[in-house]
Amino acid sequence: MAIIITGGTKGIGRDVALAFSAPGKTVVVNYHSDSAAAQATAAEIEKAGATAIVVQADAGTPEGCADLARAVSDAGERAEMLVHCAVDAYATPTLDAAPDRFTKAVTTNGISLLFLVQAFDALLDSGSTVFFFSSRGGRIVVPNYAAIGVGKAATEALIRYMATELAPRGIRVNSVAPSIVGTEAVRTIFGEDTTTSLMEHAARDNPSGRAVAPDDYCELIRFLASPAAQFITGQVIYVNGGANLAA
């Protein structure tokens, strides 16, 4: 049984890949273009005692998701967990967006979760879990974040529909929404200097007194993937120390 992560070689995807790397585990990391980052992450997975499988494919397309599923099947694995972390960091307000480019980004940033689940449908068993990473930008307006925020908002709705279809088979799908993480995609959207100030602001103003850490969202996924959470599906769960509770 494999753990499959789209966009799994950088940022949050890498955090998840390493959190679940342990002896006896197979961790499949997908990437689009950065081979060096992919190989570095694979080496860290192997160092933790897990088996690493690296698959280059465009997870924002049905064809790319099918290639990823084929690689897992060819390795003799089934899907214990699917985690959608692929992101297309197209920075734009809505009215200035190029229609084709905006559509492609929105699809990669969320709707492609459907392509992923469809591609892996025959490899999912009772107890398999599916995860999507959302963010506050799916519910409030964040400058230049439209192509990501719209994708996440649409996919939060998509998850509710998929959850009801998958539940009779014992398969669960949930969304995890951490507060801001200083990923490469975030730096692309906001710029290096702005990202630093955003992270400092997030830590300073959080009711819990700090910014989010990888363990916060990885351990939530670990719980949601466990039998203890077998009756939790179709939910969006915020991991932000209470940052969204006050104006």
Paired strand residues for 51: 26
Q: Is 172 helix (H, G, I), strand (E, B) or coil?
A: strand
Q: Would you list the DSSP string of 25-68? A: -EEEEEESS-HHHHHHHHHHHHHTTPEEEEEE--TTSHHHHHHH
Q: Is 216 helix (H, G, I), strand (E, B) or coil?
A: helix
User: So what's the pLDDT on residue 247?
Assistant: 66
Q: What is the mean pLDDT of each run of 10 residues along the chain (247 residues)?
A: 97 97 98 96 98 98 98 98 97 96 98 98 98 92 94 97 98 95 82 77 88 95 98 97 83
For the domain made up of 2-239, give the CATH fold. Answer: Rossmann fold (3.40.50)
State residue 145 phi and psi, 5-degree precision. -105, 10
User: So what's the pLDDT on residue 50?
Assistant: 98
What is d(CA 220, CA 217) in angstroms, rounded to the nearest whole number? 5
User: So what's the pLDDT on residue 205?
Assistant: 86
Parse the chain into domains and list their residue ranges.
Answer: 2-239
In terms of phi and psi (left: phi > 0; alpha: psi -120 to 50; beta: otherwise), the region of 170 is left
